[in-house]
Structure 1
Amino acid sequence: MENIKNKNVIFEWIKAFFIAIVIAFIIRTFLFTPVVVNGYSMEPTLQNKERMIVTKIGEPERFDIVVFHKSESEDYIKRVIGLPGDHIEYRDDTLYINGIPYDEPYLDELKEIIVDGSLTDSFTLQETPIGSDIVPEGHLFVMGDNRRDSTDSRHLGAIPMEKIIGTTNIVYFPIKEIKIISK
């Protein structure tokens, strides 16, 4: 009798372990996944080697931070500047979306320390690989916060929505840097 009881306990542990693995797989595949910041293109908002949680739920909104597949083996983290149908332009270090100037408070810290020119060089979408006046349907225009040191839509073109992994605003490591990033 004792032997059967021990086998039942072992079976229950194996079953619980299997269920935990399935739940973890589902959560990571469809809801959340960790990501490591690689590089300096999002400074000062994000630092190299910080670890973040990516949410795979919902559509990205303007000024969200997104993670997307740049290639099979490389993911990028950038900020959404333009949504499908938007006309994007930078003039005199000011963002214009559909002709309306927008504040970018997440850039204030960098703008204060720039002494030689502007943080963001002037450009229109025509001057990027997009080559049209508007962000194409099903695409996003993204930029790094460290505008002088970022490979983004100014170089890569518009990012297809199917390459977007999700949005992120939670830094969980290093522990002393835990924070929620606002838009």
Structure 2
Amino acid sequence: MGQGVNFIKRSIEFSKELILAVLMALLFTFFIVSHNKIPTSSMVSTINVNDHILTTMIPYYYRDPAYGEIVVFKHEGPDKLESWVKRVIGLPGDEIDIREGNVYVNDVKIDESRYLAREGISDPYTGSNHVEFPYTVPENSYFLMGDNRTQSQDCRYIGAVSRDKIYGKGWIKIYPFNQISVLK
């Protein structure tokens, strides 16, 4: 009888430890770090199709996104809420303009040489669904663009993204393994 009771006690202890470990992992995933697989080429060459990144939520608990940061936000897709990854170009109240393929924030051409393949590739969208430039970023919103400007559906098309939709900062590229690096 003693052996059966010991087995039950060990099983209960193991179950408690397992449940605690699962809860800790869930809390970690929901509030500290998440994993994203990149499905599109909108951030090439910084982040390529099928790359995997870790996103940290910690910075945006105590501050807002800053110029040049890679952010992850929720966007209402055709069938579901999707996570999109883009770079912060404009903050609330900024005036964004695109002239001769270059981006201007508050009438100053921004230097994007560290993440764009070349200058002069940032064109506004044309057609019925697009943002008119110059564009003033609404209060509590951010203007985000992909690094692969010719292939990125971004704020030039969808308009500014509300702060409450931005949930994390792109932190580390973790796959492919030979390209592990901190995202800049």
TM-score by length of 1: 0.85
Is 1:165 aligned with 2:170?
Answer: no
Q: May I ask how many residue pairs the two structures share in their alignment?
A: 173
Q: Which letter maps to 1:8?
A: K
Where do 5+ consecutive residues of structure 1 fail to align?
113-117
Matches within 5 A, 1:1-183: 1-57=2-58, 58=60, 59-71=64-76, 72-108=80-116, 110-111=117-118, 118-121=120-123, 128-129=130-131, 133-182=135-184
Root-mean-square deviation (Å): 2.2
How far the C-alpha of 1:133 sits from its partner, in A, is 4.2
Where do 5+ consecutive residues of structure 2 fail to align?
none
User: SS in structure 2 opposite 1:171?
Assistant: strand
Cα distance in 2 for residues equivalent to 1:80 and 1:103: 13
User: SS in structure 1 opposite 2:167?
Assistant: strand
How far the C-alpha of 1:46 sits from its partner, in A, is 0.6
* Cα pair distance change 1:132/1:97, threshold 3 Å: closer
Q: Which letter maps to 1:33?
A: S
Identity of aligned residues (%): 31
User: SS in structure 2 opposite 1:33?
Assistant: strand
Cα distance in 1 for residues equivalent to 2:26 and 2:150: 38
Cα distance in 1 for residues equivalent to 2:53 and 2:42: 15
User: SS in structure 1 opposite 2:114?
Assistant: helix
* Cα pair distance change 1:42/1:158, threshold 3 Å: same
Tell me which protein shows more helix as a share of its residues. 1
Cα distance in 1 for residues equivalent to 2:81 and 2:162: 17
Cα distance in 1 for residues equivalent to 2:158 and 2:135: 16
Cα distance in 1 for residues equivalent to 2:99 and 2:45: 22
Cα distance in 2 for residues equivalent to 1:14 and 1:122: 56
